[in-house]
Amino acid sequence: MSVAATRPETIIELRDATREYRGHAGTVRALDSISLSVSRGEWLAIMGPSGSGKSTLVNLLGCLDRVDAGSVRIAGKDINTLSRKELDQFRAETVGFIFQQFHLIPYLSALENIMLAQYFHSMTDRKEAMAALERVGLGDRAGHLPSELSGGEQQRVCIARALINQPPVLLADEPTGNLDAANQQIVTGLLRSLNQLGHTILMVTHDPEMAQMADRIVELHHGRIVAEREASLAPHTS
């Protein structure tokens, strides 16, 4: 059964969210009065062609940017009302990032990369970081540098880092975009199990098959939501 179905509490709510970028060529409206609600424990896939506003939406949901008009509420807080420092802290506590390029620090070991997220959140805990690494099946790779890990392993380190501070929201930007089929499956499995444990996942993807893993799919075009539907392969529908 879907977590979203059993827990209807709204964790993310966008109301008429508008974001514009001003450049030499004029003003570009990247998001145009979007309204969207995400329930706690829901897995939402965001799709759309390049320039549709996906990145802008991810930045807003990841507390990396603010709206020009409308509002974004995450875990009950309107992020536009937070100071820059409060927003930094809120981001560290609320959002776990999973990047397409992994973004691991090349000179830190797998374990230290996870501890880095702890450090910026509060304080480091080697045991806890090790447990997170074991959870993604990389307990034996703790001392390895990112360059000594495969793409799939790096992404799993990235997932462990995203989870380490137990954020209520996981933001995955093309999490399998750089992976081969085998590693895609491992990462997808991990995301699914995290979702089943109650994590809210917001996933940007170009891959329709991957999107079908989510509870719901939102499609963007020219900064607007043009389609919204339940995914067919979501666990509760299978």
Least distance CB 174 / other proteins (angstroms): 7
Crossing angle between the packed helical segments 151-163 and 110-121, to the nearest 10 degrees: 20
Helices then strands, counting H and E runs in the chain, come out as: 8, 10
Q: How many CB atoms lie within 10 A of CB 229?
A: 9
Choosing from 64, 69, 82, 131, the residue that interacts with other proteins (CB under 8 A) is 64
Distance of CA 143 to the CA centre of its chain: 26
Token output for 129: 């970081």
The least distance separating other proteins from the CB of residue 64, rounded to whole angstroms, comes to: 4
Does position 166 interact with other proteins (CB under 8 A)? The reply is no
Q: Residue 28 burial by CB count (10 A; 0-12/13-18/19+): exposed, middle or buried? A: middle
Coil, strand or helix at 166: coil
Cα 94 versus chain centre, distance: 11
In whole angstroms, the minimum distance from the beta carbon of 113 to other proteins comes to 9
Q: Looking at 40, 91, 141, 216, which residue binds other proteins (CB under 8 A)?
A: 91
Q: Is 143 in the site for other proteins (CB under 8 A)?
A: no
32 is a contact residue toward other proteins (CB under 8 A): no
The residue from 59, 71, 80, 212 that contacts other proteins (CB under 8 A) is: 59
CA 205 – CA 200 distance, rounded (Å)? 16
Q: What is the Rg, in whole angstroms, of the alpha carbon atoms belonging to the chain?
A: 17
Q: Which stretch binds other proteins (CB under 8 A): 40-48, 80-88, 131-139, 223-231?
A: 80-88
**84 binds other proteins, rule: CB under 8 A:** yes
The verdict on 202 binding other proteins (CB under 8 A) reads no
Nearer to other proteins, 39 or 52 (CB): 52
Number of residues engaging other proteins in binding (CB under 8 A): 32
- Nearest distance from C-beta of residue 222 to other proteins, angstroms: 19
Chain-centre distance for alpha carbon 99? 8
Considering only the stretches 8-16, 60-68, 188-196, 224-232, report the one whose residues sit in contact with other proteins under the rule CB under 8 A. 60-68
Asked if residues 110 and 143 have their Cβ atoms less than 8 Å apart, the reply is yes
**Beta-strand runs (E) in the chain:** 10-23, 26-39, 43-47, 69-74, 77-78, 95-98, 169-173, 200-204, 216-221, 224-230
Q: Does 21 bind other proteins (CB under 8 A)?
A: no
Interface map 101-140 toward other proteins (x if CB under 8 A): x-x-x-xx---x--xxxxxxx--x----------------
- Contact between 78 and other proteins by CB under 8 A: the answer reads no
Interface contacts to other proteins, rule CB under 8 A: 55, 59, 62, 64-65, 84-85, 88-89, 91-93, 97, 99-101, 103, 105, 107-108, 112, 115-121, 124, 161, 173-174
